[in-house]
Structure 1
Amino acid sequence: MKKIALALTAVAAMTGSASAADLAARPYVKAPMAAPVANWTGFYVFGGAGGGLSNSDQSIVSTTTGTPLTITQRQGGSGWFGTVGLGYDWQFNSTWVAGVFADGQFGSIRGTVQDPLLGLTGRQKLEDSWAAGVRLGWLVAPNVLSYVNGGYSGAHFGSTSFTNLAGGPTGLHLNGYNRNGWFVGGGVENSLNIFGISSPGWFMKTEYRSAFYDAKTRDEIVDATNLPTGVNSIRANSWNQTISTSLVYRFNWTGPVVAKY
C-alpha cells in the first residue's frame, strides 16, 4: 500500500508541473483595437478656381408700354472664375455630415445680349457673385465625403456696350445691375493623405453648381453721341453652371483617431 501511495503522489506532482509549464508557455495576445474613426466636425476655409457656362432667356419689350416685341430667345456664354469661402461641418453619426457655408466668386463669365430689332449686339459679364447655404454629405470612406448643397445666391452683372452688325459703336448701352436667386449643386471632398504623403488638415474638393437668377427688364440707355433712331428694353434672366476645384483646410483635422483600451 505504501508503495502504491508513493507512486500516485509522484504522478500527481509530475502532472501539476507539466500543467504549470504549459500555462507559462502561452503567448500574450492584445485586446482587439477599435476601427479608425475620422471626425469631420469643425470649421474650414477654402479657395480655388473653375469655369462656367452662362445661359439667358431674352426678349425685347417696349420701353414705354412693356409689350413684348419679340419672342424669347436663349443666348449663351462661358468664362472662368476664382472662389474663396468658409464653413462649419457637423458629423452626426458614423456616415453622415451636415454643414453650413458661405463663399464668393469673382472672374469673367460672359454672355451675349442682342436686340435684333435695332441690329444691336453686346457682351454681358458676370463679374462677381456670392452664396450662402447648407450641405448634406455621406462618407464614402472615413476621409472621403460625397455631398449635395443648396441655398441663396446673389450676383452682379456688368454694363453692356452695344455695337452694330459691322462691329461699330451705336451710342447705346445697358447699365450694370444686381440680381438675387438660388442654387443647387454637389461634389466630392477628400483628404490629401494619399500615395504615402502626410498632409494633416488639407483636403481637395470638386463641386458642380447651378445658379438661377430671375428675369429683370433693363432699358437701353442713349449715350451722349451717335444717337440712334429709337430704343427698346431687354428682359432677361440668367442661369449659370460652374465647376470648380478648391483646396480646403480643416482646423480640427488630425486624421483618423484610434480608440485605446
Structure 2
Amino acid sequence: MQIKQVDWSETFLVICLRVVADLEEATVQRVFLICIAAGLLSGPALASDLPVKAPIYKAPIAAPLYNWGGFYVGANFGGGWSNGSLNIPGNNLYGGLTEFVGGVQAGYNFQAGHFLFGVEGEFDGAGFGHPVFPAPTLAFVDQHWIGTVAGRVGLVDDRWLVFAKLGGGWVNSSATLNLPGAAWNGTSTNTGWLAGAGIEYGFKSHWTVKLEYDYLGLSNWSSPTVPSVALNRDLQMVKAGINYKFESGLPAVAEAPKHSHEPSDDEDLQKKSQNPIADLVSVPFQSNTNFNTGPFNRTQEVLNIQPVVPMHLNDDWNVISRTIIPLVSQPSPFFDSSTNGIGDITQSLFVSPVHPGPLIWGVGPVFTVPSANDPILGTGKFLFGPTAVLVVTPPHWVIGVLLNNQWSVGGNPLRPPVNAFLAQPFANYNMAHGWYLNTSPIITADWLAASGERWTVPVGGGIGRVFRVGDQPINASIQAYYNVIRPIGAPAWSLRTTVALLFPVN
C-alpha cells in the first residue's frame, strides 16, 4: 500500500464546508472562521489512499465590513439658526440669526468591528449679518466663523455609520449698537460646548457622505455700555458633507470598475437619469430663469445644485438622498436691484424597495434649513414634512410625480410661519440615440396666502438627450413654462436648462 503525504488542512476545510452548507448565512460565517483556524493549525499528516485533491464546495461568504478607519478630509455646507435675544432696554426685536454655514473638516477614525471611535475638527464660515429693526438705529449682529473639535463614537453596519459627537466650539461675532448715549461696536470670540449626532454612508471606496445636527451652547456676550446689553445665544446647525478617506473602505476586488457601453446599458441609463429614486449617483445643475419678476420686471435666476446619492440599506431597501442647494439672484420688492447669494437648502430622504413591482415608489422626510445669507433669499425658518415619489416605466416612457408639504417648526420667531406644498408631475418619452421629450412643471401652493394668491401652476415642456463625453454620461435638457395661475408679481414665463453628471453604481 502506497503511503501519501497530503495537506490535511485542506481536507479539513472541505469537511467543514460540506457540514455548514445548509446552515443560515450568519452561522456559516462563524463556523467557517473556526474551520479556517483549525485547519491552519492542523499541519500536514500521513494518510492511506486518501485523494490529494477533492472538489471544493463554494459556500456563500459575506462581504467584509466597510473599513471606516484612518484619516479623512472633507467639506460641509448647511444652515444654522439661533434663538438668542439682544436685550436692549425696552426693546427686543432681535429674534436670532439664520445663516448659511460652509467649510471644511478633517478627522481620524478607529474601528473595532461594529464600533467606531474618532476625533473630528471643523471650520466653517458663516454668511449672515442680521439687522435689529428698525435698522440701523438700534443694532446690527454679524457672525463670521465657527470652529469645533469633538470626539465621535458610532455604530457601523457595513457602509452605514450612525454617530454621536461631543466637544467644544468657538464662534466669532461682531455687534454694533446705536442707542442714545450708548453707541458701540465690537468683536468677540465666544466658547461653548458642542453636542451632535448624524449618519454617514460610504458610497465609494474612498468617498462618504454625511448628514448631521449640531447644537453649540455659547457663553453670553455683554457690551461695555451703560446700560449693558447682553447678547444671549445658542446655535443649531444642520449640515451635509462629503469626506475623502485616505484608506480604501472596500477590498481591491470590490473596487474594480465595470465598463460597459452596450446600447442596452445606455437605454437603461437614460431611464434611470429620469427617475428621481433610481440606483444612480447624479449631480444636476439646474438653471431656472424667471422673467419679469416683481414690480420692476427684473429677471430672477435660481441655479439649483441637486446631488442625488442612493444608499444601500439592505438587500430589500435603498435610501435615496436628494439635496437642493439654490444659488439665487433675487429682485428686490422695493428697489430696482437684486440680491445675490445662497438660499435655503432642502434635503429629502426616500426609502424605496430594491426590487419594486410595476410601480416604483419612495417615501420619507423632507426638511429645509434656513441657510440663506440674506433675509430676502429665504424664509428664516426650519421646515419639515413628508415627501413621496411614484414612478412607472412603460416602454419608451418614464412617468411619475413627486410630492411634499413642509411646515415651519423652528427658526427666527420674528419671521412669518410657513405651510408650503409642492407637486412635480413628470413625463418623459424616450426616442433613439438618447433623445427624449419631457415635461416636469413645478406646481406650488402657499396655504397661508390669500385664496387668490395661493397657487402657481405652470404648463410647458421641452427636449433633452443623454450622451457621453468620453466615458462620462451626461443628461442635458431645456424646457419652457408659462404660469397659467400665479400670484400677483410672480413671473409669467420661465426657462429651465439642466446639465446632470451621471455616475452609474457598479
Decide: shared fold, TM above 0.5.
yes
CA contact (8 A) 1:54 1:109 kept: no
How far apart are 1:236 and its partner, in Å? Answer: 2.1
How far apart are 1:162 and its partner, in Å? Answer: 3.5
The aligned residue for residue 149 of structure 1 is 165
d(CA) in 2 for partners of 1:250 and 1:70? 53
Matching residue within 83, 101, 125 for 1:55? 83
Matching residue within 183, 189, 209 for 2:194? 183
CA contact (8 A) 1:75 1:111 kept: no
Matching residue within 176, 180, 184 for 1:160? 176
Matches within 5 A, 1:11-26: none
**Residues 58 and 250 of structure 1: CA distance in aligned 2, closer, same or farther (over 3 Å):** same
User: Which AA in structure 2 matches 1:183?
Assistant: L
User: Which AA in structure 2 matches 1:42?
Assistant: G
CA contact (8 A) 1:78 1:110 kept: no
The aligned residue for residue 12 of structure 1 is none
Matches within 5 A, 1:83-122: 83-93=103-113, 95-111=114-130, 113=132, 120-122=137-139
CA contact (8 A) 2:169 2:194 kept: yes
How far apart are 1:109 and its partner, in Å? Answer: 3.8
d(CA) in 2 for partners of 1:74 and 1:212? 18
d(CA) in 2 for partners of 1:84 and 1:248? 9
d(CA) in 2 for partners of 1:129 and 1:110? 14
How far apart are 1:74 and its partner, in Å? Answer: 7.0
d(CA) in 1 for partners of 2:236 and 2:177? 24
User: Which AA in structure 2 matches 1:132?
Assistant: V
**Residues 136 and 257 of structure 1: CA distance in aligned 2, closer, same or farther (over 3 Å):** farther
The aligned residue for residue 240 of structure 1 is 235
What is the TM-score with the length of structure 1 in the denominator? 0.66
Matching residue within 25, 33, 38 for 2:66? 38
| Unaligned 5+ runs, structure 1 | 1-22, 61-68, 165-169, 193-198, 221-230
Aligned residues: 200
CA contact (8 A) 1:160 1:176 kept: no
CA contact (8 A) 1:142 1:256 kept: no
CA contact (8 A) 2:142 2:174 kept: yes
Q: Is 2:211 aligned against 1:211?
A: no
Q: Percent identity?
A: 25
User: Which AA in structure 2 matches 1:90?
Assistant: F
d(CA) in 2 for partners of 1:160 and 1:74? 13
User: Which AA in structure 2 matches 1:101?
Assistant: E
Residues 136-188 of structure 1, C-alpha deviation per residue, up to 9 Å, x if partnerless? 1112x301101111101111102325489xxxxx9823211111111111111
How far apart are 1:111 and its partner, in Å? Answer: 4.5
d(CA) in 1 for partners of 2:56 and 2:152? 48
**Residues 161 and 100 of structure 1: CA distance in aligned 2, closer, same or farther (over 3 Å):** same
d(CA) in 2 for partners of 1:215 and 1:57? 10
How far apart are 1:107 and its partner, in Å? Answer: 2.1
d(CA) in 2 for partners of 1:218 and 1:248? 40
The structure, 1 or 2, with the larger RCO (C-alpha pairs under 8 Å, 6+ apart) is 1
CA contact (8 A) 1:76 1:112 kept: no
Q: Which stretch of structure 1 is more off in the superposition, 40-49 or 26-35? A: 26-35
The aligned residue for residue 227 of structure 1 is none
Residues 47-82 of structure 1, C-alpha deviation per residue, up to 9 Å, x if partnerless? 02111112213435xxxxxxxx66988722201011
User: Which AA in structure 1 matches 2:169?
Assistant: S
Matching residue within 102, 105, 108 for 1:82? 102
d(CA) in 2 for partners of 1:161 and 1:108? 20
CA contact (8 A) 2:94 2:132 kept: no
Residues 177-222 of structure 1, C-alpha deviation per residue, up to 9 Å, x if partnerless? 1111111111111012xxxxxx3201111111111111121134xx
d(CA) in 2 for partners of 1:32 and 1:160? 68
Q: Secondary structure at the match of 2:110?
A: strand
What is the TM-score with the length of structure 2 in the denominator? 0.36
Q: Which stretch of structure 1 is more off in the superposition, 49-58 or 201-210? A: 49-58
Q: Compare CA radii of gyration and give the structure with the larger one.
A: 1
Q: Secondary structure at the match of 1:131?
A: strand
CA contact (8 A) 2:126 2:146 kept: no
CA contact (8 A) 1:184 1:210 kept: yes
> How big is the alpha-carbon RMSD for the aligned residues of Structure 1 and Structure 2?
3.1
How far apart are 1:249 and its partner, in Å? Answer: 0.5
CA contact (8 A) 2:146 2:172 kept: yes
CA contact (8 A) 1:54 1:110 kept: no
User: Which AA in structure 1 matches 2:67?
Assistant: N
d(CA) in 2 for partners of 1:238 and 1:256? 47
d(CA) in 2 for partners of 1:163 and 1:73? 14
d(CA) in 2 for partners of 1:78 and 1:257? 45
How far apart are 1:30 and its partner, in Å? Answer: 3.1
Q: Secondary structure at the match of 1:76?
A: coil
